[in-house]
A and B are shown apart, each in its own frame.
Chain A
Amino acid sequence: MDVMPKWAEVVLVPLISLLLAAILSALVILGIGEDPVAAVKLMISGALGSTYGWGYTLYYATNFMFTGLCVAIAFHARLFNIGGEGQAMLGGLGVALACLYIPWPHWSLALVGATAMAAIFGAAWAAIPAFLQAKRGSHIVITTIMFNFIAAAVLNYILVNMMRPQGSMDPATARFPDATKLPTLHDMLAPIGINFSQAAPANISLLVAIAACIFLWLLIWRTRLGYEIRAYGHSESAAKYAGISPFKITMIAMTISGALAGMMAINNVMGEAERLVLNATEGAGFIGIAVALMGRSHPLGVFLAAILFGFLYQGGAELALWTSIPRELIVVIQALVILFTGALDNMVRMPLEKIFLTLRSLRAPKPERKPVEPAE
């Protein structure tokens, strides 16, 4: 039987972890001689105080939803995919190829085509480590880390030597044609009378990300495949005994994971930059780890955690703009969130479990004394 009630498991543990991370972050801000309260106020007004701020917050959140889901689905199969960064880079390559070399008549078709290409490229980049894990037994964490570096090198090579327009010094592709321009939230909300900021990069990919959250929830909890993935994650030997193929589950979970990471590119490459640049992912693949851990690998949790990190990102940018606190503060917060919700999970959980056990024994009537010792 579980020691803790479900609400404590789902809400209390992550909340306490988050609180610990927040307290330590505040101490860090104090330590570098700044005022944490003023910093938080500035972050809130900068990220949520205007439609411009919201536009950036939601733009970042869209990235993190994709990468968070990418890590989450792999976690369900007990696979740790650190390769979201590389898979998202390759997704960007897919988007760039789709946008540059196919004459799309309308953005909606371009979106479908680019999404498919992004997903295929990301999935392919994840499928190799998955295959090596399933067939050759090489550790997926190490292989996906190596694949991040290889992806960066490959992309660098392709951008500099192949896709760079003639005469340009910038290691980037040409600008995508106008027909592939995705509608921003401003374009989408204007017809219903909401004047959303025109400068903010949030775009229709946000809806794709939300759809991906719903799709993943359906997949994990409402399909046979999702059941098999979860069963495999809980116990490999039990899953094998039930006739679930470890090879199949590893491959499927990782390809879906890679496809989700790759799909991030429709937001940052197609929606925002409108060309493929070096380091387009800006570490979003790694933030996915924090997002998935905080969201407890549940799509709703990932959605909420992604918005929180979107807020932190935009708020952090504002801090760097108006105070002497560097942007790297966000990296510290991200590290603390990963530490407390991931690695030090038991530090929060163990005392909580003790409290709940004591509470239960206080509340429950004392069991009658029985002469026979319970068998254990």
Chain B
Amino acid sequence: MDYLTLIQLLDSTVRLATPLLLACLAGLFSERAGIFDIGLDGKMLAAAFFSAAIAAITGNVWLGLLAGIAASLALSLLHGLASITFRGNQLISGVAINFLAAGLTVLIAQSWFQQGGRTPSLIGGARFNPITLPFAGQIEPMPFIGPLYAELISGHSILVYMAFAAVPLTWWILYRTRFGLRLRAVGENPAAVDTAGVSVIGLRYAAVCICGVLCGVAGAYLSTALQAGFIKDMSAGRGYIALAALIFAKWRPWYALWATLLFGLFGALETRPDVIEALIGIKVQGQLLGALPYVMTVIILAGFVGKAIPPRAGGEPYVKER
């Protein structure tokens, strides 16, 4: 495998890892606050549809992004209502949200556009287009660094850079701010937070809302940057892979980056069977490679390779003592 192929492979790794990373950080905020969220996939799907739909209608991708975030936020609030206010089962609520998004997006897409559950193809300003970073043209002819800068680092859409910037930001919020400390505390021991006079419900709603915003960006990326338009079920289980990455990352932001990049690499390799064959000398079936993130998560979760311990109060609705 030559250098340029490697750069291409890493380039598509970054593209495929971006939605996973955003969704993984979304889940991180929610689960660190003690709200399990298996509805990441549904929220991404809803955001993907609404951002593509609004971008197609208005021709402005930023309005599309806002619409996607709003749709994802609405589902987040529904999840909050069910699991925080009414103390329902968070897992069941997540399952419901996934189905709600899967059904409603196709229903509304058919009603608005009559194209069999898809949006029209997005062109021009209705899409997030690649950004060429400064000096990419000048550096490109240089050996080694040139392709690295021009192909891999430059030339992604703004959302990719936002996603990568979100990692240190998440770390800073969680570990260096008062809000972050309280957020982590509410996922470990909500009673202590309550005793300190801080609202458990308020904190958990805040976490769920951040989760909604990040899922919204992830969904918008799918339909307006990675692809040009919405198609039925386009999240394709990415929300679940993000969930797997979150466990893999042991609920930590920097680990989340590496986990999603790794899963992104699997995704990139799936489309390049020739590279795998050249690399390890045997033919590996794409289907099996696709299942690798799930298998690895099961192994990690079972504690065979390092133990992944979830936030202690995760999944438990908080009831004030009477």
Interface residues of A (CB under 8 A from B): 28, 31-33, 80, 82, 132, 136-139, 141-143, 145-147, 149-150, 152-154, 156-157, 160-161, 286, 289, 293, 324-326, 328-336, 338-339, 342-347, 350
> B176 to chain A: which residues have CB within 8 Å?
none
Contact with A along B222-255 (1 / 0, CB 8 A): 0000000000000001001001100100000000
Quick one: which of B83, B87, B92 has the most chain A CB within 10 A? B92
> A332 to chain B: which residues have CB within 8 Å?
99-100, 103-104, 107
A338 touches B92 (CB 8 A): yes
Contact with A along B294-316 (1 / 0, CB 8 A): 11011001111000001000000
Quick one: closest A residue to B232, CB to CB? A328
- If A149-B291, A332-B104 touch, does A286 touch B301 (CB 8 Å cutoff)? no
Quick one: closest B residue to A146, CB to CB? B294
Whole-angstrom CA separation of A268 from B21 in the bound complex: 38
Whole-angstrom CA separation of A152 from B91 in the bound complex: 22
Interface hit among B12-20, B180-188, B203-211, B282-290: B282-290
B58 within 8 A of partner (CB): no
A156 touches B106 (CB 8 A): no
B291 touches A324 (CB 8 A): no
- Partner of B244 from the list A146, A160, A286, A289 (CB cut-off 8 Å) is A146
Quick one: closest B residue to A80, CB to CB? B91
> B90 to chain A: which residues have CB within 8 Å?
343
A335 touches B108 (CB 8 A): no
B107 touches A343 (CB 8 A): no
> B302 to chain A: which residues have CB within 8 Å?
132, 136, 138, 143
B271 within 8 A of partner (CB): no
Whole-angstrom CA separation of A142 from B78 in the bound complex: 22
B102 touches A347 (CB 8 A): no
> A32 to chain B: which residues have CB within 8 Å?
107-108, 110-111
13 A-B interface contacts by CB (under 8 A) = A32-B110, A80-B91, A80-B92, A136-B301, A143-B298, A143-B301, A146-B244, A149-B240, A157-B287, A342-B88, A344-B82, A346-B88, A347-B88
> B83 to chain A: which residues have CB within 8 Å?
343
Whole-angstrom CA separation of A160 from B287 in the bound complex: 10
Q: Is the interface of B mostly helix, strand, loop or mixed?
A: helix
19 further A-B contacts with Cβ under 8 Å, apart from A132-B302, A150-B295, A335-B98, are: A31-B111, A33-B111, A82-B95, A132-B301, A138-B301, A152-B291, A160-B285, A326-B107, A331-B103, A332-B107, A333-B103, A335-B103, A339-B78, A339-B82, A339-B93, A344-B88, A346-B86, A347-B82, A347-B86
> A335 to chain B: which residues have CB within 8 Å?
96-100, 102-103
Whole-angstrom CA separation of A139 from B290 in the bound complex: 22
- Chain B: interface size category: 35 or more
- If A82-B95, A289-B95, A343-B93 touch, does A156 touch B287 (CB 8 Å cutoff)? yes
B189 within 8 A of partner (CB): no
Task: Return the 6 tightest CB-CB contacts between A and B, nearest first.
Answer: A331-B103, A153-B291, A343-B93, A335-B99, A332-B103, A342-B92
Whole-angstrom CA separation of A286 from B96 in the bound complex: 10
B117 within 8 A of partner (CB): yes
Instruction: Report the minimum CB–CB distance from B231 to chain A (whole Å).
Output: 13
A343 touches B92 (CB 8 A): yes
Whole-angstrom CA separation of A331 from B33 in the bound complex: 30
Quick one: which of A28, A146, A335 has the most chain B CB within 10 A? A146
B291 touches A150 (CB 8 A): yes
B297 touches A344 (CB 8 A): no
B104 touches A28 (CB 8 A): yes
Quick one: closest B residue to A136, CB to CB? B302
